Amino acid sequence: MGINILGMGKYLPEQKFTNDDFARFVETNDEWIRTRTGIAERRMAGWEPTWYMGKQAALQAIEKAGVSPDKIGLVIFCTATADFHTPSMASIVQYETGAVNASAFDLNAACTGFVYAVDTARRFLETDSECRYALVVAAESLSHFLDFSDRGSCILFGDGAAAAVIEKSDKLYSSVLGSDGSGAGLLCARALQTAPEVAVESDFEDGFPDKPLHKLYQNGKEVYKFAVSILPKSFKKAAEKVGMTKEDIDWFIPHQANVRIIETAAKKLGAPMDKFIVTLDKYGNTSSASIPIAMCEAIDSGKLKKGQKIALIGFGAGLTYGSIITEF
């Protein structure tokens, strides 16, 4: 069973942060960032909480889908940068969008979140006859978790949100989800510490890098190697399941981390770069929101049309990966 994407929406905070803005507090420059990553600017959530950005994207997606919110049976909110440990972002958005009959939960598969969430929603749509529509929301405020003294990581990320309303259909569909937890320490941010009055002294070593509070740590070189190897592999695995090849795909919509990762993967796949949707120059890496934001841009610009075949390819912390091939 496959899915039909009925409507999508996106929300980008207004505040722009250029490469030159970083040069004010870390040793970097516009040329280095552009040539090593392809990123020119990104958005930063100021006052906007993650759930709020998700809600704005969700309202747009619901409107575009033309679905009454009370008919939505499931809300999945994917994020690695939730505002709360509890309640879930999904419960807040379920209330804020009027999806009164929906179950709601968060899903954290880092930058692969949207691929995991769409595939999870598809399984609900397939098995629960009372769940006719699912709302998948991806929103991230990475700026709240960045270590702004680490020039190798802080320049890469941005904030934003996007959402999709989907229903089940018999359209072409194939998916692959995976994880390699041996790389968990390569890209991580701790949860906030327990209150000091209940913390106990211990010499337990958890093996993760010691970063202050919840700041993001990244081993850029190792993550880069993982990304360029897994991106073509996971696509090929999903394509083989339905007897397809790269030639059958109209648009590759990969996670937007670094244009060099996308170029290397395109070369490995033997697919031309003009079949890849790239938006990271404007928004940086918005983690789970990057694929659906790129999809929204492709729809709005008229590139992505109904009936075309797309490959969504995600990878990220975990280390997680996943691909969906479907007809738009």
Applying the rule CB under 6 A, the residues between 84 and 123 that interact with ligand COA are 111
| Binding piece for ligand COA, criterion CB under 6 A, among 95-103, 117-125, 140-148, 221-229 | 221-229
Compute the least distance from the CB of residue 313 to ligand COA, in Å: 12
For residue 18, what are the contacts with CB-CB under 8 A and spacing of at least 6? 30, 40, 41
Give the E-state strand segments of the chain in sequence order: 2-11, 16-18, 41-43, 72-78, 103-107, 133-140, 160-169, 173-179, 187-188, 217-218, 251-254, 309-316, 320-327
Applying the rule CB under 6 A, the residues between 255 and 274 that interact with ligand COA are 257-258
Instruction: State which residue has the least CB distance to ligand COA.
Output: 220
| Binding piece for ligand COA, criterion CB under 6 A, among 173-181, 209-217, 220-228, 300-308 | 220-228
Applying the rule CB under 6 A, the residues between 38 and 77 that interact with ligand COA are none
Using CB under 6 A as the binding rule, whether residue 224 contacts ligand COA is answered as: yes
Using CB under 6 A as the binding rule, whether residue 221 contacts ligand COA is answered as: yes
Return the number of the residue (28 or 108) whose C-beta is nearest ligand COA: 28
Compute the least distance from the CB of residue 152 to ligand COA, in Å: 4
Give the Cα-Cα-Cα angle 155, 26, 18 (nearest 5 degrees).
45
- Give the other-Cβ count within 10 Å of 181's Cβ: 9
- Give the other-Cβ count within 10 Å of 78's Cβ: 31
Applying the rule CB under 6 A, the residues between 4 and 43 that interact with ligand COA are 28, 32-33, 36-37
Q: How many residues sit close enough to ligand COA to count as binding (CB under 6 A)?
A: 20
Using CB under 6 A as the binding rule, whether residue 316 contacts ligand COA is answered as: yes
Question: What do you get for the CA distance between the two ends of the chain, in Å?
Answer: 14
Point out the residues that are catalytic.
111, 255, 285
Return the number of the residue (28 or 88) whose C-beta is nearest ligand COA: 28
| Binding piece for ligand COA, criterion CB under 6 A, among 66-74, 223-231, 264-272, 305-313 | 223-231
Applying the rule CB under 6 A, the residues between 127 and 186 that interact with ligand COA are 151-152, 155-156
How crowded is the C-beta side of 228, counted as CA atoms within 13 Å? 14
Cβ atoms of 246 and 232 within 8 Å: the answer is no
Nearest one of 6, 243, 249, 287 to 121, comparing CA atoms: 6
**Alpha carbon separation from 283 to 43, 61, 123, 242, 300 (Å, rounded):** 6, 20, 31, 33, 16
Using CB under 6 A as the binding rule, whether residue 322 contacts ligand COA is answered as: no
Give dist(CA 132, CA 128) in Å, integer: 8
Nearest one of 305, 296, 301, 312 to 10, comparing CA atoms: 296
Q: Is 203 helix (H, G, I), strand (E, B) or coil?
A: coil
Return the number of the residue (321 or 328) whose C-beta is nearest ligand COA: 321
Sheet holding 72-78, edge to edge: 2-11, 160-169, 133-140, 72-78, 103-107
Compute the least distance from the CB of residue 85 to ligand COA, in Å: 22
Contact positions vs ligand COA (CB under 6 A): 28, 32-33, 36-37, 111, 151-152, 155-156, 218, 220-221, 223-224, 227, 257-258, 285, 316
